[in-house]
Amino acid sequence: MLIELDLSSARPSNVVTAISKNGGAFEPEIVTVVCAFCEAEPVPVFIDVGSNIGVYPLIAASLAARLGKTIDVHAFEPLPALQDKARRLAADNGVAYVLHEEAVSDRAGTADFYVSARSDASNSLVAGFRPAREVLEVGVTTLDHQSGLVTREDAQVLLLVDVETHEPAVLEGARGFIARHQPLIICEVLAGRTEAALNAIVASLGYTPYRFDGERWSREAEIFGDRSHTHRDWIFAPPARAARMGAAWTCEARAAVRFAIG
């Protein structure tokens, strides 16, 4: 099953530029996990924290239409320019999902959001992560404050967190959510920045970390960053799912995704 998605109206953006340079490929191991999860789980919920132009919500919502099933898709993106691109992409591709116009952290309220001068894919709530061309005050929530994200008792949740070194705060603000729903978590790990905090949080949650080695997801004793930046995303698995995944997990999906950039 081929899912074809038109990203043309999101130009110029760093994500679309990267996809163009990579011959239409975009984080294929993560695309496969998202597709496989949405295909396999009878009642899937997909939550993307730091969704940027919304590539992954677009994939999940498109899969729902193709599979004829309900997939609850939520995206969190605080930057208005990226929100606009995400809405255009959803309209262009004939799908819909819930776009939350706020950042996610370990507390609710407002915070300074540092708009990167280097890339619109490296904006962050963390001061100094990248040189900023602008600082915006944005609304901030926590996943523990978002009671409406999972409304079906038998739902299986996939949580993607990519927020440019603010990942530990997102997980800290989601402890109740994680305890209730036991989501499978995909999390970006940048070398030399968040490993210690993530190791402590993941261990305290009773989760198991898995690293993609180029072929499969391998269980690791601790989380560490990839200094080559080849595979920056890890999977954190709750106990029941880790027991099924074992020491190594090969993820396969029926759907393949192709991006068109006119």
Residue 252 has what pLDDT? 94
Residue 260 has what pLDDT? 87
Rounded CA gap, 82 and 66, in Å?
26
Question: Is 68 part of a structural domain of the chain?
Answer: yes
When divided into structural domains, the chain yields a total of 1
The CATH number of residue 207's host domain is 3.40.50.150
Residue 12 has what pLDDT? 84
Residue 17 has what pLDDT? 87
Mean pLDDT by 10 residues, the chain (262 residues): 91 86 85 97 97 97 95 98 97 97 98 94 95 96 96 95 98 98 97 96 98 95 86 95 97 93 81
Question: Is 240 part of a structural domain of the chain?
Answer: no
Residue 224 has what pLDDT? 95
Residue 137 structural domain = 2-234+245-260
Question: Is 132 part of a structural domain of the chain?
Answer: yes
Residue 23 has what pLDDT? 77
Residue 79 has what pLDDT? 97
Residue 230 has what pLDDT? 75
